[in-house]
C-alpha cells in the first residue's frame, strides 16, 4: 500500500511539472515572445532607421522618440501614432510595446541604455522552436530553505549576456538551504509579483548539460517565519540561452553553487 501511494505521489508530481513546463514553453514561443526578436538596436541621440521597424528612432534627456514617415504608423496603447511619437523616459528594466502590422516593437531600457527590439512572429528561431530539453522531475530536488532579509536592500552589480553591459539590483536578502550535505546560500533579487523573489545561479552542470551563463529560479513570497521552498526542477533558462539578442543578467559571484543541480532545463537545442 505504501509503495502504491508513493507511486501515485510521484506520478502527480511529474504530471504537475509537465503541465508547468508546457506553459513555460508556451510563453517562450508566443508569437511576440523572446524567440520572435529579430534584432537588438541601441539608441543614441542620432536618429536611426532599422530594417525591421518603421520610423527613425532616437533618445535623449526627454526619452525615446520615433519619427514616422508618411504612410508609416504604430499602434500605441490602442491609439494610432503617426508623425512624431514620444515614448518618454523608460525606467531601468522597464519597457513598452507598439504594434506594427503583425509585429510588436519593444522599447526598453537595459543597463542604462535605451533599446528597440522588434519581434516578428515569422522569425525562424520561433517557428522552428522544438521545445527545451530538461532533466526528468525528481522530488529530491525540492528543498526547504530559509529566507534571511538584509537590514536594508543591498545594491549588487552583475554582468550581462551582452559584453560591457551591467545590471544593478537591490537585493533584499539571501536564502539558506541544505542540499546533498552542503550548507548553501543564494542572494535573492526581487521578483515580478510583490514579495516574490528570483535567484540567478550556476552550478556544477553549467556549461556541461545546462546553459553556461545562468539559470533562474522564481520563488513565491517567503512565509512569515522565512520558510521558502526551492524546487530546482523548475529552474529555467533565461532568453539569452536561446538568442544573442537578449541582455540577461549574470548571477552574482556568490550564487555559483559548488554542487551539480541535475534538475530543471538543459542547454537549448538551438545552442547545441
158-189, pLDDT tens digit by residue? 999 999 999 999 999 999 999 989 999 999 99
Domain boundary among 127, 147, 175: 127
Verify that 201 and 228 share a domain, yes or no: yes
pLDDT digits (tens, 9 = 90+) for 14-39: 999 999 999 999 999 999 999 999 99
- Residue 7 clears pLDDT 70, i.e. is over it: no
Domain boundary among 98, 127, 156: 127
pLDDT > 90: percent of the chain: 94
Whether 3 is in a domain gets the answer no
Whether 56 is in a domain gets the answer yes
pLDDT > 70: percent of the chain: 97
Verify that 75 and 174 share a domain, yes or no: no
3-state per-residue secondary structure call for the chain: CHHHHHHHHHHHHHHHHHHHHHHHHHHHCCCCCHHHECCCEECCCCCEEECCEEEEEEEECCEEEEECCCCCCEEECCEEECCEEEEECCCCCCEEEEEECCEEEEEEEECCEEEEEEECCCCHHHHCCCCCCECCCCHHHEEEEEEEEEEEEEEEEEEECCCCCEEEEEEEEEEEEEECCEEEEEEEEECCCCCCEEEEEECCCECCCECCCCEEEEECCCCCCCEEEEEHHHCECCHHHCCCCCCCECCCHHHECCCCCCCCECCCHHHC
Average pLDDT over residues 234-260: 97
Whether 197 is in a domain gets the answer yes
Domain boundary among 82, 100, 127: 127
pLDDT digits (tens, 9 = 90+) for 220-245: 999 999 999 999 999 999 999 999 99
- Residue 2 clears pLDDT 60, i.e. is over it: no
pLDDT confidence of residue 6: 43
Total domains, the chain? 2
* Mean pLDDT estimate for the chain: 95
pLDDT confidence of residue 3: 35
pLDDT confidence of residue 91: 97
pLDDT confidence of residue 5: 38
pLDDT confidence of residue 272: 81
pLDDT confidence of residue 117: 98
pLDDT confidence of residue 180: 86
pLDDT digits (tens, 9 = 90+) for 87-130: 999 999 999 999 999 999 999 999 999 999 999 999 999 999 99
Verify that 137 and 249 share a domain, yes or no: yes
Going by C-alpha positions, the residue among 101, 115, 123, 108 that lies closest to residue 54 is: 101
- Hey, what's the cell of 267? 542547454
pLDDT confidence of residue 213: 97
The domain in which residue 51 lies consists of 34-127
pLDDT confidence of residue 8: 40
Verify that 85 and 105 share a domain, yes or no: yes
pLDDT confidence of residue 245: 96
Verify that 193 and 158 share a domain, yes or no: yes
Verify that 135 and 92 share a domain, yes or no: no
Verify that 118 and 181 share a domain, yes or no: no
Verify that 120 and 250 share a domain, yes or no: no
Verify that 145 and 252 share a domain, yes or no: yes
Amino acid at each position: 500500500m505504501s509503495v502504491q501511494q508513493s507511486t501515485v505521489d510521484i506520478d502527480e508530481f511529474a504530471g504537475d511539472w509537465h503541465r508547468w513546463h508546457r506553459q513555460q514553453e508556451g510563453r517562450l514561443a508566443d508569437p511576440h515572445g523572446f524567440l520572435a526578436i529579430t534584432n537588438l538596436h541601441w539608441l543614441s541621440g542620432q536618429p536611426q532607421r532599422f530594417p525591421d521597424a518603421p520610423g527613425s528612432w532616437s533618445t535623449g534627456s526627454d526619452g525615446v522618440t520615433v519619427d514616422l514617415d508618411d504612410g508609416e504608423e504604430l499602434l500605441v496603447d490602442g491609439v494610432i501614432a503617426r508623425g512624431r511619437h514620444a515614448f518618454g523616459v523608460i525606467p531601468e528594466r522597464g519597457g513598452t510595446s507598439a504594434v506594427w502590422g503583425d509585429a510588436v516593437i519593444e522599447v526598453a531600457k537595459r543597463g542604462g541604455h535605451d533599446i528597440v527590439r522588434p519581434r516578428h512572429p515569422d522569425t525562424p528561431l520561433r517557428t522552428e522552436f522544438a521545445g527545451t530539453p530538461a532533466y526528468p522531475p525528481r522530488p529530491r530536488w525540492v528543498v526547504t530553505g530559509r529566507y534571511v532579509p538584509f537590514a536594508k536592500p543591498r545594491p549588487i552589480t552583475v554582468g550581462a549576456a551582452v559584453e560591457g553591459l551591467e545590471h544593478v539590483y537591490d537585493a533584499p536578502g539571501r536564502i539558506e538551504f541544505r542540499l546533498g550535505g552542503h550548507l548553501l546560500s543564494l542572494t535573492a533579487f526581487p521578483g515580478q509579483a510583490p514579495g516574490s523573489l528570483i535567484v540567478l545561479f550556476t552550478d556544477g552542470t553549467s556549461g556541461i548539460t545546462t546553459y553556461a551563463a545562468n539559470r533562474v529560479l522564481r520563488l513565491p513570497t517567503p512565509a512569515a517565519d522565512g520558510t521558502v521552498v526551492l524546487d530546482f526542477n523548475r529552474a529555467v533558462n533565461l532568453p539569452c540561452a536561446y538568442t544573442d539578442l537578449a541582455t540577461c543578467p549574470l548571477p552574482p559571484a556568490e550564487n555559483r553553487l559548488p554542487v551539480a543541480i541535475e534538475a530543471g532545463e538543459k542547454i537549448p537545442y538551438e545552442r547545441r
